Amino acid sequence: MHITCHLRPIELCVITLRVILVLVCGLLFLAPGIWSSGGYATAASVPPSPVQFAQTIHTDALGRQVQLNDAPQRVVSLVPSVTETIYALGAQELLVGVTDFCNYPPQAQDKQSVGAYNSPSIEAIAMLRPDLVIIAADMATPALLQTLLELKIPVYSVYPRSLKATIEMQRDLGAVLGCTAAGATLASQLEQAIAQLNQEVERAGAEAAPRVLLTIMLEPLVIAGTDTLPGEMLACAGGINVATPGSRYPMWNMESVLAFDPDIIIASPHPGTSSPRDFFLRFKQLRAVQQGNVVEIPADWLQRPGPRIIKGLEALRQVITDAVTHTPEKINATQR
């Protein structure tokens, strides 16, 4: 080695480490599901509860057997969708702590916050003396679980990544929070909405199904694939997702949008990002642009597995029927 012969061993180590780091990061990027694919599920444990309430054993989303008070009094929610669900159950009086990201309903923001969704403060949680902490399974690291267990704080995990899981979560939360009936009602509302949509879609027939692009972010262009909650909701509302079947949240580019030329483009603009209309309007040959089918639906209606996904489902169905009724012949033409 003549050229770099003065790399000292330490520098070689640094180079090698950098290369490895970059490669590992790259692989993680390609397999985003790697963190959330369970793996902590074996941490089964029964938190010894000091209280004298009647207790029941529940199985949570991590497969842990959790012994919980039948009527918890002080609940901390570390999941925005759970916070929303608790309000929908009418159990908000039990809620003593939320995260910075729990912004709905608006009064949830008045509750004590314990930090960010992905990095809650354990001290803040402990200070609230909760008898139940509800956490998202993909945020429940073994270390966090262990710490909370050592503090004798019971933890219940949820993992609503699909419509079915969302329905179950609503039912389970009802059971865990001691309002089983409300949970069942909430769950059956969602079930009914889905069943109703299925009927409608069936009546409309497969020909009327437009091809839809569901975008999550515009810059870069990240879209929702079929194996996601928004993707499932789209299928339920009678749209055909243009993303590759089985995909999660791939990054696309405009070329792919042009190549697939969807009938409808749905965007969920965030405050402060460029408007979807402006973004797609640059390409007038897009069918969705020509027919005015670039539509905005609030991100929380589609991406947050709480009670508002009924709104999301209805909005999706509305968009699809609007598109079909306004330009039926063109939509049908694309299906040939």
Partner 1 sequence: MRPSVRHTYLWLPLCLLFLGGAVVAGLMYGTVPLTPSELVDILLHPQSSGLKSTVVWQLRLPRVGLAALVGMALAVSGTVFQAVLRNPLADPYILGVSGGAALGAVLALTFFSVQSYTVPLLAFSGALLALFLVYLVARAHQAATHTLILAGVMVGSLCTAVLMFLLLYAPADPMRNALFWLAGNLARGEERWLPYGAGVCVILVLLLWSRAGLLDVFTQGEDVAADLGVDIGRERLFLFCAAGLLVAIAVALAGLVGFVGLVVPHAIRLLWGAGHMRLIPAAAIIGAGFLVGADALARTVLAPAEVPVGVVTALVGAPFFLYLLRLRGR
Partner 2 sequence: MMEAQMLQIQKLDFSYRGKKVLRQISFGVEQGTIVSIMGANGSGKSTLLRLLRGRLRPESGSIRWDNAAAHKLSRREMALQVAVVPQQLQQPFGFQVREMVAMGRYIYQQPLAGPSRQDWKIVDEALASTDSAHLATRCSAELSGGELQRVMLARALAQQAPVLMLDEATSQLDMGHKRSICLLLRHLGQNGKTIVQVSHDMNSAAEISHKILLLSPAGEQIAFGSPHEVLTSAHIEAAYGVQVEIQRQSSTGGGRGGRPEESTEILRFLPQPLMFGSTP
Find the shortest distance in angstroms from Cβ 4 to partner 2. Answer: 8
Does 336 participate in binding partner 2 (rule CB under 8 A)? no
Backbone phi and psi for residue 46, each to the nearest 5 degrees, phi listed first: -115, 110
Nearest-CA neighbor of 178 among 50, 60, 66, 56?
56
Pick between residue 5 and residue 54 the one whose CB is nearest to partner 2. 5
Nearer to partner 1, 6 or 203 (CB): 6
Q: Residue 237: which of 329, 288, 312, 162 has the closest Cα? A: 312
**Residue 266 β-bridge partners:** 214, 295
9 counts as binding partner 2 under rule CB under 8 A:
no
Amino acid 220 reads P
34, 195, 206, 259: residue in contact with partner 1 (rule CB under 8 A) = 259
- Among partner 2, partner 1, none, residue 217 binds (CB under 5-8 Å by kind): partner 1
DSSP structure string for 138-176? GG--HHHHHHHHHTT--EEEE---SHHHHHHHHHHHHHH
**Position 19 contacts partner 1 (CB under 8 A):** yes
For residues 86 and 284, give the distance between their C-alpha atoms in angstroms, rounded to a whole number. Answer: 45
CA distances (Å), origin 321, targets 182, 272, 326: 32, 30, 8
Residue 240 DSSP code: E
Say if residues 28 and 20 touch (Cβ distance below 8 Å). no
E-strand ranges in the chain read 55-59, 65-69, 75-77, 95-98, 112-113, 132-136, 155-158, 211-217, 222-223, 240-241, 264-267, 294-296
254 is an interface residue for partner 1 by CB under 8 A? yes
Residue type, 262: P
219 binds partner 1 (CB under 8 A): yes
Task: Please state the closest distance from residue 18 (CB atom) to partner 2, in A.
Answer: 18
Query: Which of 5, 10, 57, 181 lies at the binding interface for partner 2 (CB under 8 A)?
Result: 5
CA distance 224 to 247: 8
Binding footprint of partner 2, residue count (CB under 8 A): 5
Q: Is 258 in the site for partner 1 (CB under 8 A)?
A: yes
Q: Which of 43, 74, 101, 139 binds partner 1 (CB under 8 A)?
A: 101
- Is residue 6 within the footprint of partner 2 (CB under 8 A)? yes
Using CA atoms, how far apart are residues 128 and 329, in angstroms rounded to an integer?
60
The sign of the dihedral angle between the CA atoms of 306, 307, 311, 316 is positive
Shortest Å, Cβ 118 to partner 1: 9
Q: Which one of partner 2, partner 1, none is in contact with 53 (Cβ closer than 5 to 8 A by kind)? A: none
Contacting range for partner 1; rule: CB under 8 A; set: 3-11, 42-50, 53-61, 328-336: 3-11
Is 10 a binding residue for partner 2 by CB under 8 A? The answer is: no
Q: Based on the shown chain and the rule CB under 8 A, indicate whether residue 181 belongs to the binding site for partner 1.
A: no
Interface with partner 2 by CB under 8 A: which residues?
Answer: 2-6
Binding residues (CB under 8 A) for partner 1: these are 1-4, 6-7, 11, 14-15, 19, 22-23, 25-26, 29-30, 101, 116-117, 217, 219-222, 243-244, 247, 250-256, 258-261, 270-274, 283, 285, 299
